[in-house]
Structure 1
Amino acid sequence: MPAPFAAAARAGGFTGAAGQSLRLADPPALLVGIGAPTAAGFEAAGALAASCLAHDSRATLDARGRAPWAVAALATGAGTRAHRTDHLRSAPKAGLDRLDLWVEDPGSCAPALRRAEAALAGASLARTLAAEPGNILTPRTFARRLRALEEDGITVRVHGRDALHRMGAGGLLAVGSGSAEPPRLVVLRWKGRGGKGAAAPSSSSERASPSTRGASPSSRPPAWRR
């Protein structure tokens, strides 16, 4: 516990346990408990910090003395929690737009933060696609947006109505038959960077017709400085 906050923390009953938070007025600061020093603990603490700072546009997270993996976990938690669905709102909510990470050796944290940033970008895209209304994200638009992942080395294969007939995808075709938008099945494959021996997991996503689910796309996670 930094010395300037120790007395105020004791007065406020703050022990640093997981899930604890305490906002101080003088000096202005937010204390967040980590609990067990695990990746999950740091990620939860980052998410709690972002939640408590939801009405602040910018904040600095003091991560000095933490290992690079812990700094990345804090950033991952904060970025995941700060995800907002403002795009379709008539009046976007105020929220955390930027989180600066205060570390002693930015260079040593850079690789872990790059991995965290990539994971956050992927999660943000997936959440946006899942939440966006079907009358905006039509099957063809869905497939076109996923095509952009080819720039990141992902193999994207789009199956249209004829291919779905050949593979016997009657369920998708039945749902899509009631829409002016033809169904699409998109398969994404990532072969990794390890050459011939790398694993090649695949995942598939589908949009058969406009849905009635309400929600909206999201902004990118807040940026952070290294």
Structure 2
Amino acid sequence: QLISEHDVVFLLTDTRESRWLPTLLATKHDKIAITAALGFDTYLVLRHGKPDSSIRLGCYFCNDVTAPGNSAQDRTLDQQCTVTRPGVSHIAAALAVEMMVSLLQHPDKSGVDTNSATCLGQVPHSIRGFLSSHTQMMPSTPAFAQCTACSTKVVEEYQNRGVDFLNEVFLRATYLEDLTGLTELHKATTLSDVMEFSDDEEM
């Protein structure tokens, strides 16, 4: 209800797994979703693609080939977004708000492609910044058909099963990978590696 009744969702939490459910819900309810993620001296600001767009951009999870797990386990504080350089959060927050304002100026909202512009200028898909070199880049990536958060299969499974689906996701670590076909993708990749490096001519 919190997501369905609002126009824009900002994902500002510390871990990958804590962003998964808001990403799924924002996709289901077709809401503008913007992620801001921090490293020690890096940041990422990314707008999630519109579900029914003809040129759909990826969400925060579309570049991953594994389901969300415990990303904070066995990591030092600076690897958990807990310790950052003083300006990182302010820069990322400002860019996230500016990205939202730019999206709202375009009739397609989150469906706008990266070649378009509004009265406020360009609307990038993502902004990656590096304070160590004081540089930014603006990569754009398409949606991944086997994404564990925004793919059609995941959204439909949530619509059909609701809380039962969520319980299975939370209790079985490999469920999302099995559902989306990532498990088979991993097996195929592993077999390909074995065949490429094997000395056995019969393989």
| TM norm structure 2 | 0.26
The structure that has the greater radius of gyration is: 1
